Amino acid sequence: MAEKKSFVLRINPEMLKEIECWASDEFRSINGQIEYLLQQALLERKKNTRKKSKPA
């Protein structure tokens, strides 16, 4: 696994509370939930980019 890099994330308290609850529901840490959500968004973006670049 690649080395992970740390950084500071500023997030509003309401959003953090929602992510915390969601993470708990899925048995993840808050950090793990944020990583999961970002990974899903990146995969979706790549999928959509490939669809747009295919000739009609």
* pLDDT (0 to 100) of residue 49: 87
In the chain, the N- to C-terminal Cα span, in Å, equals 38
Q: At residue 56, does pLDDT exceed 70?
A: no
* Mean pLDDT confidence for 2-30: 95
Q: Is the pTM of this model over 0.75?
A: yes
Distances (CA, A) of 44 to 11, 16, 18: 23, 23, 22
* pLDDT (0 to 100) of residue 13: 97
